[in-house]
Structure 1
Amino acid sequence: MIHSVAARAPRVAVAGLSARLLAQSAARAGLNVVALDIFGDRDTRENSGMWFDIGGDGLSIDRTRLFDALECAARLPRMLGLIVTSGLEPLASELSRMPHMPRFIGNGVEAAAVRDPRRFFALLDDAQIAHPAVRFDRPADARGWLMKRADGCGGTHIEWAEHADNAPADAYFQRLAQGRSMSALFVAARREAAIIGFAEQLSIETGRLPFVHAGSLGPIALPPGTTERIVAAIETIVWKTGLTGLNSIDFLLDDDTFQVLEVNTRPSSTMALYEAAWPDEWPRGLIGAHLDACLHGALPRSTLASSRTPASIAGQRVVFAPASFTVSRLFSDACFEDPACHDVPLTGPRIEAGMPVCTVTAAAPTLDALRNALTNESARLLQRIDSYCP
């Protein structure tokens, strides 16, 4: 919390569509946080010394407001630099080169090697790392194909190809493949990688978007042989690209085989799962590991191979509004006082149907028990909407 941060602690700016997870992790590391996002949720502000609104139309970032806010942040004393999360992928390279900005802590030009689909899938082919079939022109028969935008995030960049009217310049087409949707979080430095853990990804279908991100479960234990092959693929990608800091890789797991989907070249929301499962391993939060890797080229001692089995599995699920409502004081207060509820909105905003309301969390000894716990927490949140937001 900001009131426990030393008055002269180093500052770090964290920015994205939602900065809450980074703000909490950075506060745990003892840093004075400057948060920039579009929501300004109560728990984001509680963990930040300053907050800047960078929201544009709808759920988007306004470029001018972002750059103005970052210029202000750069002038603050003891500013270590800027860490970005989802929503800023298209601007990461530019932010890493711009003058009058906080020092960029993460992937700048390195990200191009994996964010450019032509380069990335060619790299995978060269390394003989499996991935679903990809093409850069629309298939004659688009059934069973997805259209993806290279600069998207959270599943909002994925559509069914047969229903997509126009393909933007950065679009590519990927054949739908079978498998369990998974991710691996890793820290990279000096062309080496330390794997933090594996997580199962949750998604929902909404409108034209078949795979909108809706949460994650983890850490997930995989068979040793499968783990070894995925770790080898990550190490190869890091060696060939020079990625640095926290990154995550999305893949499909079908029995003991896997296919790589994409790499997210910034801290992932799954970091919260590992901080919850292994709190003693990350006393400075995983943002501490990100800073060590980016600023000092140091990898954490605690990795997938050396960490002990957690006592329970953690989960987080985004709850979407079933109908439009205005956030009441009673609703906001009830959510803010609930330790299972995060990304708590302030009193007053209008949340439209289908938009995210809050994120609920739970922990349990098994995946089935965890799914049930998250379902119960989601139901409690929806009941609060009915009770407090008529």
Structure 2
Amino acid sequence: MERPFLLVAHSARMLAQSLARAGWPAVALDRFADLDTRSACRAWYRVPERDGRFDPQALEEKLSLALAECRPQAWVYGSGMEALPELIAKFSERCPLFGNGAQVVRICTDPRAFFPWLDRLGIPYPEVSWTAPAAASGWLVKRGGEGGRGVSVYRGENGDGYYQRRLAGAVYTLAFLAGMGQVWWHGFNTLYQADYNTRFPFLFAGAINRADLSREVAGQVIGYARRLSRALDLRGLHGLDFMLDNGVPKVLELNPRPGAALGIWDTAWPEGLLAAQVRVCRGEPVAGFLPVPVKGFKIVFAPQAVQIPAAWRWPSWCADRTPPETMVPAGAPVCSVNASGRTVAEVEAQLAAREAWVIKQLWKEKKCNRLGSA
């Protein structure tokens, strides 16, 4: 029996499904152990969380258990591990890593290291301040954390983190595959953010695999990715977040691992993009990338606490499906909804309708359950 790949991420579902396209077995460690992840993996381990992140001690214990029980041939990490470079370094000594090592992760997650790198490479970014600005408007406070969790509007408070000029407009990501000093594939996304949550007003809420960018702007951003790839010896799939400032693309951050938009681009390579990452990390060139139709997804957050009914049936266009009888607290993800079509407008209309349907039906079920138990 072929030894599996070990996947570690807050949500390992997209990684596992991508590997399955190549026919490669997977073992997953993540926070949710949703139905999709379970069905795509040979084995799965649910890791407890602490304040919406991995509990480091529990993660280390689960990683050691998975290495002993499943004997993976290699491992790949996704979201959540960038906050734990020490664990990346530690477990890369025990199991081969297909992705960026701890040193690259430290650079990408430490603003005092990352922005000087951008300066050296001539890559622009919104103005940064390490001390609280005198003006209370026009700035963001950034305290770290993936998916916009550590970002808030600056209101004159002092605290940890750093400060960055707030730009107006859409947030974009260049998803790209790097290795051996070059960029092998790329695709542009427009990101969705959830603004209902006062604690996390810039929470990542989904993406669509199209972006309204000029050819000149797109070329500049691809150039940024190439410079970073050569300078940092990047390996694998990445996400380069940026915004436009008077027509100039300015970088917000570099995510040094596969991002949540993997699923809307995965058919760009016949075996799936994670297989392409593995091959590039082995030093093998990859070619034969394919066009991808307009695709998008949105994360559905619970407007109020809800328990998934025992007999609940998820529609086929749902993913990250929470197991039956799970209690989902207010503000937590319930699932994601997916759509594809010919145009951006068509896909976004489908996403809005499907998100509304899930919320309406779950709330209807909740009311019915409450009435039935009265």
TM-score normalised to structure 2 length: 0.91
Aligned pairs for 1:186-225 (under 5 A) are 186-205=176-195, 206-220=197-211, 222-225=213-216
The whole-number CA distance in structure 2 between the counterparts of 1:254 and 1:133 is: 11
Aligned pairs for 1:1-390 (under 5 A) are 8-57=1-50, 59-76=52-69, 79-98=72-91, 101-108=94-101, 109-150=103-144, 152-162=145-155, 166-167=159-160, 171-205=161-195, 206-220=197-211, 222-253=213-244, 256-275=247-266, 279=267, 281-294=268-281, 296-302=282-288, 307-308=290-291, 310=292, 312-331=293-312, 334-335=313-314, 338-390=315-367
Q: Deviations over 1:6-47 (max 9, x none)?
A: xx2330111121111111111222121111111111111011
Q: Does structure 1 retain, via aligned residues, the 8 Å contact 2:167–2:245? A: no
**Cα RMSD for the two superposed structures:** 2.0
Match of 2:115, SS state, is: helix
Q: Deviations over 1:297-317 (max 9, x none)?
A: 2343245xxx44x4x310000
Please say which of residues 338-347 and 67-76 is displaced more in the overlay.
67-76
Match of 1:317, SS state, is: strand
Q: Does structure 2 retain, via aligned residues, the 8 Å contact 1:147–1:164? A: no
Deviation at 1:339, TM superposition (A): 1.8
Inter-CA distance 341–255: structure 2 relative to 1 (3 Å threshold): farther
Please say which of residues 172-181 and 222-231 is displaced more in the overlay.
222-231
Q: Deviations over 1:53-107 (max 9, x none)?
A: 2112453312222112211222346622221111121213432334774322211
Q: Does structure 2 retain, via aligned residues, the 8 Å contact 1:130–1:260? A: yes
Task: Tell me what 1:4 maps to.
Answer: none
The whole-number CA distance in structure 2 between the counterparts of 1:255 and 1:160 is: 21
Identity fraction in percent: 29
Question: Gapped runs of 5+ residues in structure 1?
Answer: 1-7
Q: Does structure 2 retain, via aligned residues, the 8 Å contact 1:73–1:102? A: no
Question: Gapped runs of 5+ residues in structure 2?
Answer: 368-374
Inter-CA distance 76–250: structure 2 relative to 1 (3 Å threshold): same
The whole-number CA distance in structure 1 between the counterparts of 2:242 and 2:219 is: 14
Q: Does structure 1 retain, via aligned residues, the 8 Å contact 2:172–2:211? A: no
Task: Tell me what 1:5 maps to.
Answer: none
Please say which of residues 77-86 and 230-239 is displaced more in the overlay.
77-86
The whole-number CA distance in structure 1 between the counterparts of 2:320 and 2:254 is: 25
How many residue pairs match? The answer is 365
Amino acid of the structure 2 residue aligned with 1:40: A
The whole-number CA distance in structure 1 between the counterparts of 2:164 and 2:304 is: 33
The whole-number CA distance in structure 1 between the counterparts of 2:334 and 2:307 is: 11
Match of 2:360, SS state, is: helix
Deviation at 1:122, TM superposition (A): 1.3
Please say which of residues 101-110 and 33-42 is displaced more in the overlay.
101-110
Inter-CA distance 48–163: structure 2 relative to 1 (3 Å threshold): farther
The whole-number CA distance in structure 1 between the counterparts of 2:143 and 2:286 is: 33
The whole-number CA distance in structure 2 between the counterparts of 1:365 and 1:346 is: 32
